[in-house]
Amino acid sequence: MLRQSLRTALCGALVCAAACQASESQQRGAAQPGAETTQGFAELLREFTQEYYDLSPTAAVNSGLHAYDGRLPDYSPEGVRTKVAWLEAMRRRTAAIDAQRLGAKQRLVRDYLAVAIDTELFNIQALKVLENNVWYGYLPLDPDVYLSRQYAPLSVRMDAYTRHVEGLPAAVAAMRRTLKPMPSGHAGVFQGYVAGLAEFVTTLPYDVFAEVDDPARQAAMKQANDRAAAALRDLAQWIEASPRNEAFALGPEKIAEMLWAFERVDTPIEELKALAERDLERNLLALQRACASFAPGSSLKDCRAKVASRKPVDGPVAAARRQLDRLKQLILERGIVSIPIDAVVIVAESPPHQRSGTAYISVPGPHEEAVPSIYYITPPDPDWSTEEQQQYIQSEADLMSTSTHCVWPGHILETLRSNRSGNPLVEFTYSYAFTEGWTHYSEEMMLHEALDDDPELAIGELQNALLGDVRVLSSLGLHAAGMSIEASEQLFREKAFSDAENARQEALRGTFDPGYLFYTVGKLMIMKLRDDWLAIHPGSSLRDFHDAFLSYGSSPVRLVRKAMLGDADDARLFH
């Protein structure tokens, strides 16, 4: 979930800017208002950056600071307490900064730093992502970055990979002292992740690093892989045998705290529920209209089945390449949003160890140059029957939604623009509502602005929109209203038209990722901000709004709203 770590170079730039301002005022013989506060905030950012990297070295690796290659966080109870104490101290220091004496951009960064700290503390203390709700707390165990990101020669990446894997047994031992009984759904997800990681380290590295002709390196890697796999398999068995604690609901007070900690949203829960219900009805009516145009006289079920049957004739990878070319051309022709001129996106087949989903992306870190972004498409399992393989392949409409969501103008564009935004926090963290809200907003926006409301493509987009609406209702229901997992499953089947397996997975995800409501909450906040901004900027284009919005670098939408609207911000986050 985290983009992770602060941008050291830009923190240094802030310090430099403050020093230059001080020098100029000395030459004029007068003190510059706010200079001391600005310099103090720059110093805080610099300290935060270095100390965060030291506590979370895998965050530095993912942002492209490869001096940290091979290092793992301290997952022991003592290490967790150290991080919490440090975050609390940093929260006090951030709160002591007089935001009103900062410039507008720095004020947003200061407020965003407070959000980032609150988010980390909530994840550790309330969600307990290192104890019994480990849906992302232990993702840094994964050494895939050294295999999939081509930031250095193979031998260099192989050495880094080996150091990382050598540290896994000690990390696992520390984790076992921190982990506590967890709900069955959480345990199943975590056990599957750990078991998959054990299989990963004993298979894929040998394929990726086969070209490194160095027996000593190969032997060291194999020894590290074998020891790590043994520790991970033992952990998977330990999780399976551990007692369970089936309580997962946060309760209404904690859900409200999460909304504030993550995104500074203070909208009452019942109002959010009503908002999602209205949006669900809006999207359901739109789906009915699209089906009436695409398959007149058919039921919604038959209409959706007809869309699902229309598979890309040239295969999903070739189709994805074709779709990206079309999307990029439409974006540029219709002036929808600016795309960095040096943006390179490769479409490739997902490697075997990353085939749990139909698609995923790999984007270089802010400190990495000349590394392409990759849009991975997962092929069907060749061991499946022909019928099963055809069912697995996304339809043209679904794949177009995925391509829009993942690449143009979705996640890859947003990340590339964030990396260039000048916001020093984009390496360390990101706003759930900004990033996922932007991708879901992009799907609907592109349908209207670029794809001419094509009814077949609309059906693909609306499937995702309905899913997002139900995620809001499921999250609030599971955690604030006593909804059962079975009732959540039924909601996904009836309102989002999910099949039984996907409905079960979505319901289980809601138990450990209540923040998945931000997909739609973020989208609706962006839609309201767009309308309000265009209303006070007559003559401005949609591209003007999109470029301005993305310039803030995945900051919480509430903070971006204040920055973009200023005195015109009426604090109404939704229509």
Write out pLDDT tens, residues 114-172: 999 999 999 999 999 999 988 678 989 999 999 988 899 999 999 999 999 999 999 99
Over range 405-416, report the average pLDDT.
Answer: 97
Per DSSP, 182 falls in state: B
Dihedrals phi, psi of 160, to nearest 5 degrees? -65, -45
Residue 8 has pLDDT above 60, yes or no: no
Report how far Cα 55 is from the mean position of its chain's Cα atoms: 21
Residues 6+ apart with CB under 8 A from 554: 3, 414, 415, 418, 421, 423, 426, 430, 431, 434, 435
538's tokens: 């007559």
Q: Are strands 345-349 and 359-362 parallel, antiparallel or unpaired?
A: unpaired
pLDDT of residue 22: 30
CB atoms within 10 A of CB 240: 11
Confidence of residue 509 (pLDDT cuts 50, 70, 90): very high
Distance CA 461, CA 80 (A): 41
pLDDT digits (tens, 9 = 90+) for 52-96: 999 999 999 999 999 999 999 999 999 999 999 999 999 999 999
Distance CA 188, CA 131 (A): 15
pLDDT of residue 353: 59
| CB 28 within 8 Å of CB 87 | no
Question: Which amino acid belongs to residue 438?
Answer: W
Over range 441-451, report the average pLDDT.
Answer: 98
Angle between helices 485-495 and 455-480 (to 10 degrees): 160
Range with lowest mean pLDDT among 192-201, 323-332, 444-453, 518-527: 192-201
Of residues 483 and 39, more confidently modeled: 483
Alpha-carbon distance values, 55 to 73, 82, 277, 389 (Å): 6, 9, 42, 44
Percent of the chain with pLDDT over 70: 93
Query: What average pLDDT does the structure give for the chain?
Result: 91
pLDDT of residue 21: 31
Distance CA 511, CA 404 (A): 28
Residue with tokens 């086969």: 210
Alpha-carbon distance values, 520 to 66, 355, 525, 531 (Å): 35, 26, 9, 17
Beta bridge partners of 362: 374
Residue 356 half-sphere exposure toward CB, CA atoms < 13 A: 9
Range with lowest mean pLDDT among 11-15, 184-188, 267-271: 11-15
Of these ranges, 135-139, 291-295, 566-570, the one predicted with the greatest mean pLDDT is: 291-295
pLDDT of residue 36: 55
Distance CA 337, CA 331 (A): 6
Distance CA 344, CA 150 (A): 14
Number of H helices, E strands in the chain: 25, 3
Residue 19 has pLDDT above 60, yes or no: no
Residue 28 has pLDDT above 80, yes or no: no
